[in-house]
Amino acid sequence: MIKVPGKRRMSFISGLDLVQEEIEIMKKMDNPNIIKLYEVIDDPNYDKMYLVLELAEAGQLMEFEPQSHKFKPNPLLLMQSKSLRNDHTNQSHFDEELIRKVARGLLNSLDYLHNVCNIVHRDIKP
């Protein structure tokens, strides 16, 4: 639990309260660069909650490689890089065009969150 002092009294917010608040925010999102939340299935018999999300077909942008302890580009996204489609010898970076496309999508979604939804993300990861 997280203790949150209020102006009039002290209150407690549980982890479940925070998850439910995030679910309400996710339900309102409507942007092509933000994964959609389709449904929430609450299973009290097993103390589980299932979130049915839009499939990100290409997966994550970067993948962690445990052997080298480094992040590497997702191979599915590398195939979209024009300069690397026929050259499989250098798969350590994305081309400028794909980086531009990803950055534009990220900035578009942040603009949507900030200016349309009045939300600050606070947890953007590389």
9-40 pLDDT per residue, tens:
556 778 888 889 989 999 999 999 999 999 99
Q: Domain ranges for the chain, please list them.
A: 1-55, 59-126
Q: Is pLDDT above 70 for 119?
A: yes
Residue 54 has pLDDT above 90, yes or no: yes
The class (CATH top level) of 1-55 is alpha beta
Per-chain mean pLDDT for the chain: 82
Catalytic residues: 123
Which pLDDT score is estimated for 1?
55
Question: Cβ distance 73 to 93 under 8 Å?
Answer: yes
Residue 111, pLDDT > 90, answer yes
